[in-house]
A and B are shown apart, each in its own frame.
Chain A
Amino acid sequence: MNRIVRRNQLSDNVVELVVASPVIARKRKPGQFIILRTHADKAERIPLTIADADSNAGTITLVFQVVGKSTAELSDLKEGDSIHDLAGPLGKPTHVENFGSVVCIGGGIGIAPLHPIAQAMKSAGNRVTSILGARTKNLLIMQEHMKKASDEVIVVTDDGSAGDQGFVTTALEKLISSGEKIDMVVAIGPSIMMKMVCKVTKQHDIRTVVSLNTIMVDGTGMCGCCRVSVDGTTQFVCVDGPEFDGHKVDFEEMMQRQSTYLDQEKKSYEIYKHGCGDNCTCNRK
């Protein structure tokens, strides 16, 4: 079960896995995610958005960045290996309708979850303009996929190595001031990026949806770990989200909560990279 059918290295530390998961492939809607554990032995549960799916082939596509032990172990899996636990589809699907003109903004790894939403918006008859941003050319992913899913694609990089130099907010502001009509913005990426996009769109009163990537444990609404404040009320990203009205999200609080385990995460990753395994005693404090 959950066999890896294909593994692609999209960039230095971004991996794409195509996984055999026929039920989820059929059932999933854009915006939904899965929770997985790489192996049976005390692995943690992590959420990943479903970047694409093929219901005929019975596969789902996961795109992730290696940021710690769990993603590193996931990256170590080869074609033919199985992911031990995979549950989904989870979360409320994106609300898709013909809004008119939708600007999809993806920052870094956020382009992966953005992709199915752009696809759905285009299918629903929207004019889709996608702004893809990354720090540098090597970290840009899924450009071809996004070109297929959009009417227009604007690329920006911090260092100008691809597309225009600047942030996604710069490109967005340029688009707004060009007078182009924008009915809706969908922004997915690092929390700070989504926060900044919302600041811009709020000034121009443009409806904005963000997809939040809080820490999760069960993903089914039973623990409250993923809670965020939206318009002053507590919402669970795993069952009430992952998408919310960006203008109502308390990004500061969300970013603060996302840092809860930085020390433990660092420790875990260091032990993993050290390579001796759990019972390593060399040079350990």
Chain B
Amino acid sequence: MSTRIATVLGVAQLPMRTRLPQYTYADLLGRVAQSALADANVDARDVDGLILAMAPTTTLGVDEPHYWALAGLPGAARFLGRVHTLASSGLTAFRLACAHVGAGRARRVLVLAADLADESPDLVGAIQMFSDPFAPPSAPGGAASAHALQMSAYMAKNGLDERDMAHVVVKNRANGVDNEFAQLRQAITIEEVLASPVLAWPIKRLDASPRTSGAAAVLVGPAGEPGVAATGFGSFANHAMMGARMVPGVDESFFDGSDLATAARRAYRVAGIDDPVEQIDLAEVYASFGILELLAIEALGLSAGGNAARMMGEGHFHRDARIPVNASGGATCGSPISGTGLIRVIEATLQLRGQAGARQIARPPRSAAVSAIGGLFQLQDVGILEA
């Protein structure tokens, strides 16, 4: 029997889109906050903490958006901080909210995340500004080229071809058709993936998550309250000079997902999970490229190393499988950077509540693993939720 750290009282997200011209950043936060409180049936005056996940800020063009975007929101008078761990920010912020509640420092903490990716005409260019141009970059190239190295090494090591690898995004895009919040809701075929333009071989455009605007909110309360429980967290940082680690044989953790596996082991230990294949009923994992989902499945111990792609081709990890992975369509179908980790928590919560609508998995789940990765495999976060 695992120990409940805190409870998910309410969740909300807005439909993800490339552009959301009808909203300002503050609008997004306000609307999603209101919806999360309505979902929890909690009055705004009963929220005594607020955490904002926002990173990187360069896409928004405002350095510290909390000074103008939080006014009047529930818990804003007791703002507990902005969290910045790149695409892991949402999950890290959720973990911190659980820590504040678990420590008795606050009773109800609202976690908010939003992104307006269209504020910048060049999202990739904006993210590149994140690095100091006058110092040696910590990684060569951008995300696509880095994960292309990862994907090609994985294919070579496990005897896989591009067709084997395409099963991930085809599965996710099919799942996304039933997700009313997904940005991409059209199913695709393996042939379409293979025929899409190469970004950095072997990664193709349809292997990658889209540029996304969106917002998400989770209200966290004490362990004793009814709702989905957070029962374990684990993290791992292997941040130092990624460029030097992107050579097979030098440091395999970039290629085999073993850093994420370390985070998973930590989370499992806290949650009392020693056999994830038997004890985990679903997973929502952050994967901005298909290769990341395969590595996450293996890191979470849901398949043996190198087997995830073949198993997926056989139907494992699909929505009707024993352990569905990204039944929502995952980041393949929409991934606002700051909120994508929080959306994993929301989707897992909806599944555990049995409220996921058309994307609800068939077998009533009791437990879920969620994961997120910050940077280029530099920060790893795993959380365990239980019904």
Answer whether A and B are interacting partners. no
Q: Could you tell me which B residues sit within 8 Å of A by CB distance? A: none
Q: Could you tell me which A residues sit within 8 Å of B by CB distance? A: none
